[in-house]
Structure 1
Amino acid sequence: MKIAVLILAAGSASRMGEAKQLLPYKNTTLLGHAIFQAGKANIASVYCLIGANAEVIKKEIKQDVQFIYNPEWKKGLGHSIATGVNELEKKRYDSILIMLADQPAINTAYLNVLINTALKNPDSCVASGYGDKLGVPAIFPQLFYRELGKLSGDVGARYILNSGMENLIVLNTKNKIEDIDTPEDYKRLLKKINLFLNT
């Protein structure tokens, strides 16, 4: 079973005020950390969907990752997902694991739990559950490519996952979902790291 990882990093991060994909995190960046964690997982290939700040990101990221460029990234998250999925569909992957560049608590161990669950249930979506909502990281088999490929605007994969769909398996994220969207979010993240290093 061939699984590709699609890391979404096309937005302009307007609430952050700068390219949050390249904010320092540990010994790399937020995006670099996501690529590193995905690269160690049991998958076929890692792709990164970029748009805003594309040239800067490609220059800064030195890891083994294949970039997919969405020139119409301003059309929203849904359009970026559709662009990435439509491109990967041509490469005949059995499933696509969609994840974000700004969820630093997501690690290889958790990604492998998602992947191993998908391997045992190849016709089901495997989603991350937090609170009463479902979201990414999530694995979508080929059965859902067409629906993902029709997304537009800011309607993301969560719309599909929370639509009462069948063939769905939900995993407990155990507090791993923490999006870094604002300067305050980033400050809290750095504070957590410092507390961890000093204990």
Structure 2
Amino acid sequence: MDRVEGSRESIKRDLAAIIVAAGYSSRMEAFKPLLPLGESTVIESSISSFLEAGIENTIVVVGFKANMLKPILEQMDIKWVYNKNYNEGMFSSIVAGVKSLPSHVKGFFLLPADIPIVRHQTIDILSQNYDKHDIIYPVYKNRRGHPPLISSKLFPEILRFDGQGGLKALLKKHNDSALHIEVDDEGILLDMDTYEDYLMICKKLKAISEKQQKLQMKAT
């Protein structure tokens, strides 16, 4: 096994990803995780980013319409966790996800399911420094995005937190010790709050796919 492959195996072993897909999708008027995106769905695209980066310990937190998501997750052999308190908001799903992590995990990526086109290369870049900082954020054109990589050092604090202001409020306390890494990935900023957002993401994904196809044709 060469050094690169050995490093990738270490990442698989030490890191996890929590994808939150338990919400109501109320502003969208459609269940966002199952909307079509490219040749798959939003939730499958979100999961694939981590699997392609070697993060096999990927967990999806389900709640609203869990029965519709479970068959897809089981077909992909992805672990899911049911958050019975999903009506309390995203932080309750994050807590459910953290509680489900294996004891050996040293950090986790956090991604809402409606941010579906993060490049796997971005996850690779963040992973390289996972053992040196409590929080690592990807940044695109000076704007911080998802998924942050959160050290296991913060797990006890997350589980004790009362949830006021959500995880963002908790992580804000650690801004001085956080690492910000500039990445060439607009996808870290693109979420699907509205149907117009969804259409824009579909358009951007199509443009990315067409660009990749052209590059492949040039290479051959």
TM-score, structure 2 length as denominator?
Answer: 0.78
Q: Structure 1 stretches (4+) deviating beyond 6 angstroms?
A: none
- Size of the alignment, in residue pairs? 196
Distance change >3 Å, CA 57–CA 129, structure 1 → 2: same
Larger C-alpha radius of gyration, 1 or 2? 2
Q: Name 1:158's counterpart in structure 2.
A: 168
3-state DSSP class of the match of 2:130?
A: helix
Q: Name 2:115's counterpart in structure 1.
A: 103
Q: Name 1:138's counterpart in structure 2.
A: 148
Q: Name 2:58's counterpart in structure 1.
A: 46
Does the CA contact (< 8 Å) of 2:111 and 2:147 recur in 1? Answer: yes
Q: Name 1:86's counterpart in structure 2.
A: 99
Query: How far apart, CA to CA, are the structure 2 residues paired with 1:132 and 1:160?
Result: 21
TM-score, structure 1 length as denominator?
Answer: 0.86
Segments of structure 1 that go 5 or more residues without pairing to the other structure are none
Does the CA contact (< 8 Å) of 1:78 and 1:151 recur in 2? Answer: no
Query: How far apart, CA to CA, are the structure 2 residues paired with 1:30 and 1:169?
Result: 28
1:15 Cα deviation after fit: 0.5
Q: Name 2:23's counterpart in structure 1.
A: 11
Distance change >3 Å, CA 193–CA 112, structure 1 → 2: closer
3-state DSSP class of the match of 1:99?
A: strand
Alignment RMSD (CA, Å): 2.4
Segments of structure 2 that go 5 or more residues without pairing to the other structure are 1-9, 212-220
Q: How does 1:19-34 map to 2 (within 5 A)?
A: 19-34=31-46
3-state DSSP class of the match of 1:117?
A: coil
Among the aligned pairs, what percent are the same residue?
24
